[in-house]
Amino acid sequence: MSSDFEAYEQDVGTLTAEITNKIGRIPKLAGEEKTQLVLNVDKQLEEVRELLEQMDLEVREIPIQSRGMYNSRLKSYKQEMEKLEKDFKRSRIAYSDEVRNELLGDDGSSSESQRAHLLDNTERLERSSRRLEAGYQIAVETDLCIMCRVQIRGRWSLTS
């Protein structure tokens, strides 16, 4: 039974080395190649999870006297797996940020032009607001004048 555990151990070691290598390459790639690598790493992580489950089952069948040593090795592999998953998540976040920047056309050189557009739009908004306020004021004054004339005409008709 320990030979099965050791075979699984070798497979886990090989896969984690491949995954570590690929995780390091993810931020350096672009496009379809990067997407395929992310999918491949995800698949390999799932394989490692399955191998760890098999190793856990094997440890349960090992005699109690030897079980402690195998449990500590398994625990070490599980910790390595957690580290790989965190590293992969970080590389995927960096990947997502790059994709977002590509889609939005967000690069460092355009920040000045974006700032200029923002200032232009702010000024345009302020001018429009002043025109609207002036138009509203004219409407209110016109309304008051009409009301005054109606009241004056109403008085004339009452006195006449």
Q: What CATH number should be reported for the domain holding residue 65? A: 1.20.58.400
Please check whether residue 121 lies inside any domain of the structure. Answer: yes
What DSSP state is assigned to residue 62? S
Measured CA to CA in angstroms, residue 84 lies from 72, 89, 129, 135, 151 at distances of 18, 8, 55, 64, 84
Query: How high is the pLDDT of residue 51?
Result: 94
Please check whether residue 29 lies inside any domain of the structure. Answer: yes
Please check whether residue 129 lies inside any domain of the structure. Answer: yes
In order along its 160 residues, the chain shows pLDDT tens digits of 578 888 999 999 999 999 999 998 888 887 888 889 999 999 999 999 999 999 999 999 888 888 888 999 999 999 999 999 999 888 877 655 565 666 666 555 567 778 778 888 888 888 888 888 888 888 888 888 888 777 777 666 555 5
Q: Total domain count for the chain?
A: 1
Query: How high is the pLDDT of residue 141?
Result: 84
- Furthest CA-CA distance within the chain: 121
CB contact at 8 A, 95 and 29? no
Query: How high is the pLDDT of residue 150?
Result: 77
Residue 99's domain comprises 3-152
Per-residue model confidence as pLDDT tens digits over 93-122:
765 556 566 666 655 556 777 877 888 888
Mean pLDDT, the chain, rounded, equals 83
Please check whether residue 159 lies inside any domain of the structure. Answer: no
Query: How high is the pLDDT of residue 85?
Result: 92
Cβ of 78: how many Cβ atoms within 10 Å? 15
Query: How high is the pLDDT of residue 156?
Result: 60
